[in-house]
Every structure is written in structure tokens, then in C-alpha cells.
Amino acid sequence: MRNAVCELLEIGVKSYYVWKNKTHPTIVAFLEKYFKEEEIKELIETGEIKKLEIIKDKTADELAELVKSQHNEKILAQIEELKKQLL
């Protein structure tokens, strides 16, 4: 993760620790808390993170409803499959 953050911020390893511990701890903590190393690398390579591009225009409520809806669809499909097996 350290190397990916260094590449993203265009800083060296020594500067990374200065950023992390003294000058910009909130930025480094944010990156390390909310992003996987692969996502930071994806951002560096492509200029975007696909996962975030998919959800960028959705509110938290819309995302929760979407997840709930997809979960319910899976459960209903499982119920239908069980019904077929019982008949």
C-alpha cells in the first residue's frame, strides 16, 4: 500500500512517512482506510476507479435500495429453485 500511495501522491518513501505522521496524516489515513492497493493502482493506471465510476451518481439511499433489491432477487430465485425441487 505504501508504494501505491507514494506513486499516487508523487512522493518518495521518506516523504510518505512525513506525510503520514506529520504534515498530511488525514490524507494518508483516508487513502489507507477507504481504498485497496489495487484500486489506487487502477487510479494511477487508468485515471479512474471502476467501482466508484459505477456508483458516483447514486446517493447512499439509492445504493442501499439497490443492494437490498439485488439481495431480494437472489433470495426469490433460491425460493423458486427450492419450489421446483419440492414438486
Question: Domain residues of the chain, as ranges?
Answer: 1-55, 57-87
Give residue-wise pLDDT tens across range 28-54: 999 999 999 999 999 999 999 999 998
Task: Please check the confidence at residue 67 and state whether its pLDDT lies above 90.
Answer: no
Specify the pLDDT at position 76: 87
Specify the pLDDT at position 83: 86
Contacts of 28 (CB under 8 A, 6+ apart): 5, 16, 19, 20
Region 79-83: what's the mean pLDDT? Answer: 90
Q: Which DSSP category does 57 fall into?
A: T
Rounded Cα distance between 23 and 87, Å, is 67
Specify the pLDDT at position 52: 93
| Cβ atoms 7, 45 nearer than 8 A | no
Specify the pLDDT at position 29: 97
What is the phi/psi pair of residue 36, to 5°? -85, 155
First CA to last CA distance, the chain: 53
Task: Please check the confidence at residue 71 and state whether its pLDDT lies above 90.
Answer: no
